[in-house]
Amino acid sequence: MDEKLRGINLNNVPRHIAIIMDGNGRWAKKQGMQRVFGHRNALTAVRQAVEASADIGTKFITLYAFSTENWNRPKLEVDALMSLLINSLRKELPDFHKNGIKVNSIGATEKLPKKAQRVLQEVIHETRNNSTITLTFALSYGSREEIVNAIKNISKKVVNNEIDVKKIDEKIINNHLYTFNLPDVDLMIRTSGEQRISNFLLWQMAYAELYFTDVLWPDFRKEHLFDAIINYQNRERRFGKTSEQIGTDV
């Protein structure tokens, strides 16, 4: 057992961890290689993060794999990322089953290449009955776009008298987001030293604890996730209450 895992209170782990996997390009540059090299070497970090999350009993992990803004990157890099997505999903399918991983996706996935869409949907279907942990890939995802789409869809239902405008609440908004079947984020981790949330799960992270590490994503390993969990467990989550109120909650 990892020594750091021993220091974790398994009764107080985040139910949902979200990760901004940052630093692939800088990692590749340090090796004197092109950015694509960093993306290809990031798969070990993905496996380690998912395995570590499962080790501690976290039920949901969401990875920011490709943002709406990433479409503006050089075509060579975008094409390489799409190819990597297809190959990785196919290659990892046996391990998804072995480890009880249910694959999910959020975002405007209809913008992905047709082949990527097909493989993604095949893997989602194949793993639908797995129950150890739900692994969500945020692909062609942007939180502002997600919220705008939710508002449009709710507005249509109001116009069609399917929803009473007076009854619109957080639950109705939640039900119209990509993440309608996921709980709110408890812990957000961003690698590479950047301290931004970059249009990622803005609604869902309203009360998330934010953890930033200088580790570049391709170097991220189980012990780094455990460090984040220990840091998380040393914080007091008040959700707008006072420390005294938290102390008296049953």
User: Tens digits of per-residue pLDDT, 116-168?
Assistant: 999 999 999 999 999 999 999 999 999 999 999 999 999 999 999 999 999 99
User: Does 35 belong to an annotated binding site?
Assistant: yes
| Strand-pair partners of 131 | none
Higher confidence at residue 240 or residue 50? 50
CATH number at residue 216: 3.40.1180.10
Whether residue 170 lies inside any domain: the answer is no
| DSSP strands (E only) in 155-206 | 187-190
Which tens digit of pLDDT belongs to each residue from 90-105?
A: 999 999 999 999 999 9
Q: Which uninterrupted H or E stretch holds 138? A: strand 133-141
User: Does 176 belong to an annotated binding site?
Assistant: no
Could you give the percent of the chain with pLDDT greater than 90?
Answer: 86
Q: Is 152 exposed, middle or buried (0-12, 13-18, 19+ CB in 10 A)?
A: exposed
The pair of structure tokens assigned to 207 is 């009360």
Q: Tell me what pLDDT residue 59 has.
A: 98
Contacts of 71 (CB under 8 A, 6+ apart): 78, 111, 140
Q: Tell me what pLDDT residue 247 has.
A: 62
Higher confidence at residue 151 or residue 2? 151
Whether residue 231 lies inside any domain: the answer is yes
Whether residue 247 lies inside any domain: the answer is no
Question: Per mean pLDDT, which range of 70-74, 115-119, 245-249 is the poorest?
Answer: 245-249
CA distance 111 to 92: 23
Q: Tell me what pLDDT residue 3 has.
A: 76
User: Does 73 belong to an annotated binding site?
Assistant: yes
Read off the pTM.
0.92
- The answer to whether 150 and 173 have CB atoms below 8 angstroms apart is yes
Average pLDDT over residues 73-78: 92
- The answer to whether 230 and 8 have CB atoms below 8 angstroms apart is yes
Whether residue 57 lies inside any domain: the answer is yes
Whether residue 177 lies inside any domain: the answer is no
Higher confidence at residue 244 or residue 106? 106
CA atoms within 13 A on the CB side of 27: 22
Could you give the percent of the chain with pLDDT greater than 70?
Answer: 94
Whether residue 118 lies inside any domain: the answer is yes
User: Does 198 belong to an annotated binding site?
Assistant: yes
Instruction: Look over the chain and give the mean of its residue pLDDT values, rounded to a whole number.
Output: 93
User: Does 71 belong to an annotated binding site?
Assistant: yes
For the residues of 199-221, what is the DSSP string, one character each?
Answer: TSSTTTTTT-EEEE--S-GGG--
Domain range spanning residue 213? Answer: 12-142+183-236
Q: Which residues are catalytic?
A: 22, 70
| The pLDDT of residue 250 is above 50 | no
Confidence tier at 217 by pLDDT (50, 70, 90): very high
User: Does 100 belong to an annotated binding site?
Assistant: no
The pair of structure tokens assigned to 216 is 């570049």
Whether residue 196 lies inside any domain: the answer is yes
Average pLDDT over residues 74-93: 94
Higher confidence at residue 95 or residue 241? 95
| Strand-pair partners of 212 | 190
Which tens digit of pLDDT belongs to each residue from 3-35?
A: 788 889 999 999 999 999 999 999 999 989 988
Number of domains in the chain: 1
Confidence tier at 249 by pLDDT (50, 70, 90): low
Whether residue 174 lies inside any domain: the answer is no
Q: Tell me what pLDDT residue 248 has.
A: 54
